[in-house]
A and B are shown apart, each in its own frame.
Chain A
């Protein structure tokens, strides 16, 4: 009796663990055709295994919709990767950078400053999209603790099934298809958008509504300090940027900009606000955005990348790696993949 109890319990426990494993694989969101930005964090690791990167972009949608690493390579021989994710908050950026440093040490880190306006965790869903893809390390543990909202439990990050189990009644064929192996959705962290939706002239005339307080929260600024220190300790140059946007919905206030200019000046950092440079870059708000001026589409992003690549090369000394045969081989594959995806997307549109 006792023996039978132990044996059957052991077998059932094994069956339970295996079935929960597969249930988890089936039930977690796949981020392929729906919200692909959720797949970005996880895609970095395979790329880091392939080759090293001299430039790492960190930040929110304003990096992964604005910079095309394939173009940087093509034009300047710069090896780069975009570690962006949807509504990536400053502490996310910090821990994603810390995580990346376990694999490589870039020459420069480019940080987009928009997220500095958030001092508190914002949304559970965006936490999941940024953090779930991280491989386990102390950085992931710290990232979860730093960013989880009140209702979230640490355990649900260890076992995402506890978070996503209720998707059982909304499963699609995609969940089964990509259960164990997912296709790559980004190009070195860049997410292609080929749609064109012009910013309406009426919209462009509107500015962001006034705020009660323009001071950037001290919580986010403290993490910017931490990013700065992490870069200093590893001999990395930190470059601050603000991606070009033109929408009153996501307005970048002059008061905020002044604080960043001040911060950059005090810490000896370069800061480029591309909003002021759209004419030099050649961005046309009737052509180069896919959502009325909130984000650039691929045409805008290619222009911006080409423009910024020159700065990276000339002002920050990022080397041309075309001579490096191993790297060239990797990058020619990535460039080819980018252009084939681009033509596919255009044809689908």
Chain B
């Protein structure tokens, strides 16, 4: 059930109505029912997969939390007759047992994800190797369909079980409540990857009907549709034409970098706005997934502001544990004695960074383009880290240049935007050599620029002059609105101004209906981001 269907709108409407009509104690069951309907509408065969994840992580979480409380009880009972060393040893032993359960359930769940998502990719790579070595055998590649939102719910569920193990969140007692946490329908398609400690209390609270939740929710949903249906899908026409056409290089590659940034921004942040808005209708505030990412001054900053919940998942559950793990510690010590303090200290953590980015790329999709995309991001971050002393010197020399303000600030933001946009076209072409060839052509195919001035670009790409005018105007609106969201989101501000709220909602509906790309002749009603 995609966001751009009438059945989705009907489901929300029915669920909101029912939610506030029922007694508070059982309001969460409405959300669970809606989630099951949303999921089943995508295809009944998805259900066993998500059920397997729910059941295994639930049982493991219960077991871990019981083992932990039993161990604590034992210690408090035997505090007197145990020495400090004995207590430490007992604690370590108990922790090891809990860790075994954790590892088992993580292996199982990441295993399901890996098999469903990467079997085809891996076997194709194996076949490529086999044929390269001239063997006349090929492994048959099964055609596995990816269960809806598996990357997102697997991460939500595994994040939960790790939090339970770390004692950061309470294990859920009721499996149906836990099932709601994993399958909460606004989060199915493209996240955010919410943390249990932040989301669960809100899910089961039985939130009261409050006017500002409804008004803010409605505005945010409309704002999301505006970004997705009116902006992203209009720009998508040009992007598709460049990708599928022959010989669109040079200026067209630059066009692709800019337009695909518009598409992915509108589509992804718009989709998340719809998600947030829908949750808000039920009185639930989800963690923000974007904080004006395109005004970031550096790659590192960009990744703290774009797809935040994914980035923080990888940081908290992969990068940190890996970086501070015992083997890493040993590696650091060895490197330091052999290579000296400077490089020795940095090498292990750089290795951890690259592994994290490699897996981040792989999480986005089973393909070389995603892996290369992840690694390039990692390399950019490390290179800019290495250049930090140079930057510092530069800024000492020119103290008037402030990365946060003025022309130099704009320069930094544009530079980051173009850099991230260039890396991002890997996922447009889906083909690494073609992406590099296309990117490279920007620097020598200057003859393609004539198409921009003689109007060929209009006929070549099928996006009309008036559509560019609309896109420019709509992008400016988004720019000015998000610029003012530094302290408070537009939906919250408008909730306090009823007249402005009503006018804004009316204008958005009108613009979406007229200028949105939907209906016959337009076949993209799937969010780009749920392929991942």
Binding site for B on A (CB under 8 A): 1-2, 4-5, 8-9, 11-13, 15-16, 19-20, 23, 27, 124, 151-153, 155-156, 161-163, 165-166, 168-169
Residues B510 and A5 in contact, CB atoms below 8 Å apart: no
Contact B516 A12 (CB under 8 A): no
Given contacts A16-B509, A19-B510, contact A5 B215 (CB under 8 A): yes
Report how far A324 CA is from B497 CA in the complex, Å: 68
A27 to B506, CA, bound (A): 19
Q: How far is the CB of B508 from chain A (nearest CB, A)?
A: 10
List chain B residues, Cβ under 8 A from A151: 520
Closest residue on chain B to residue A156 by CB atoms: B519
Q: Out of B464, B470, B513, B515, which one reaches A162, CB within 8 Å?
A: B513
Most chain B Cβ neighbours within 10 Å, of A5, A13, A23 = A5
**Known interface pairs A16-B509, A19-B510; A8-B498 also in contact (CB < 8 Å):** yes
Q: Show 15 A/B contacts (Cβ-Cβ < 8 Å), sorted by A.
A: A4-B498, A4-B499, A5-B215, A5-B501, A5-B502, A8-B503, A13-B506, A20-B513, A23-B514, A153-B519, A155-B6, A161-B514, A165-B515, A168-B466, A169-B470
Taken together as a complex, chains A and B put the C-alpha atoms of A166 and B515 apart, in Å, by: 7
Q: Majority SS of interface residues in chain B?
A: helix
Q: Identify A5's interface contact among B211, B518, B519, B520, CB under 8 A.
A: B211
Q: In the complex, A152 Cα to B510 Cα: how many Å?
A: 22
Further contacts, 20 of them, CB under 8 A, given A2-B211, A15-B506, A153-B519: A1-B498, A4-B498, A16-B506, A16-B510, A19-B510, A20-B510, A20-B513, A23-B513, A151-B520, A153-B6, A161-B513, A162-B519, A163-B519, A163-B520, A165-B513, A165-B515, A165-B519, A168-B514, A168-B515, A169-B464
Mark B488-530 against chain A: 1 for CB-CB distance below 8 A, else 0.
Answer: 0000000000110111011001100111111111100000000
The interface of chain B, by Cβ under 8 A from chain A, is 6, 211, 215, 464, 466-467, 470, 498-499, 501-503, 505-506, 509-510, 513-522
Closest-CB distance, B97 to chain A (whole angstroms): 57
In angstroms, Cα B208 to Cα A89, docked, is 55
3 nearest A-B pairs in the assembled complex, by CB-CB distance: A5-B498, A169-B466, A8-B502
Provide the residues of chain B in CB contact with A8, threshold 8 Å: 498-499, 501-503
Question: In the complex the two chains form, what is the Cα distance from A203 to B502 in whole Å?
Answer: 64
Q: Which residues of A contact B519 (CB under 8 A)?
A: 153, 156, 162-163, 165-166
In the complex, what's the smallest C-beta–C-beta distance from B502 to chain A, in angstroms? 4
CA distance in complex: A15, B502 (Å):
11
Measured CB to CB, the closest approach of chain A to B8, in angstroms, equals 14
A287 to B358, CA, bound (A): 74
Q: Are A165 and B509 in contact (CB under 8 A)?
A: no
* Contact assessment for A12 and B513 in the assembled complex, using a CB-CB cutoff below 8 Å: no
Complex CA distance for A168 and B465, rounded to whole angstroms: 12
| Whole-angstrom CA separation of A19 from B470 in the bound complex | 19
Which residues of B have CB within 8 Å of A19?
510
**Least distance between B496 CB and chain A CB atoms (Å):** 8
Across the interface, which residues of A come within 8 angstroms of B506, CB to CB? 12-13, 15-16
Q: Whole-angstrom distance between the alpha carbons of A175 and B522 in the complex?
A: 23
Contact residues in B for A156 (Cβ distance below 8 Å): 519-520
Contacts of A168 in B (CB 8 A): 466, 514-515
